[in-house]
Amino acid sequence: MARRTNELSIEELSIINSPKIVKEIDFQTALSLFVDDCLIRNLRPQTIQYYKNELSVFYKILREKDYSPAPTNITKDQIKSIIPRIKVKGLQTVSINTRLRAIRAFLNFLHCERHIKDNPLNDIKLLKDRRKVVETFTNEQLGTLFN
């Protein structure tokens, strides 16, 4: 038997380089598919409920800003414009990051399933959370504690 070459034919290269197939679906159908996938992966009911809650808020915000909620129409600029709106509502940085994580998981799922071409949240980083500085003990305080 002849040794196989490590070169691809023109037909094989065209298959690899062909654009990904994108099946356009609406937000509610996409959410339903995502929840079904979560059930298949045996995620905890609380986790699934968390995804549902955060993504329904995301859907409402998209509708309020007059953005098309169809997953193929969601852009990085739209998400960047939504973050300040969430901040104005008084949510803490941790809560905003939690919401962004849920949206990222949802869009990653849609990207892997080829419902969207790219995940617009890939280049958006989570917000930095400023932590309060905890005062340390002075030498005198330590001396009184351990004596």
What would the pLDDT profile of 31-64 be if each residue is shown by its tens digit?
999 999 999 999 999 999 999 999 999 999 999 9
pLDDT of residue 44: 96
Q: What is residue 10's three-state secondary structure? A: helix
What is the DSSP track for 89-126?
A: TT--HHHHHHHHHHHHHHHHHHHHTTSSSS-TTTTPPP
From the number of C-beta atoms within 10 Å of its C-beta (0-12, 13-18, 19+), residue 71 rates as buried
Q: How far apart are CA 25 and CA 98, in angstroms?
A: 25
| pLDDT for the residue numbered 124 | 83
User: Which residues, other chains included, contact 1 with Cβ-Cβ below 8 Å and sequence gap of 6+?
Assistant: none
In angstroms, the Cα distances linking 99 to 4, 50, 93, 127 are: 50, 9, 10, 11
Arithmetic mean of pLDDT over the chain: 85
Residue 21 pLDDT: 53
Provide Rg for the chain, Cα atoms. Answer: 23
pLDDT in tens, 113-127: 888 888 888 888 888
Q: State pLDDT tens for residues 3-37.
A: 777 787 787 777 776 655 556 789 999 999 999 99
Domains, the chain, ordered by start: 22-147 (1.10.150.130)
Catalogue the E-assigned strands of the chain: none
Instruction: List the structure tokens of 98.
Output: 């939690």
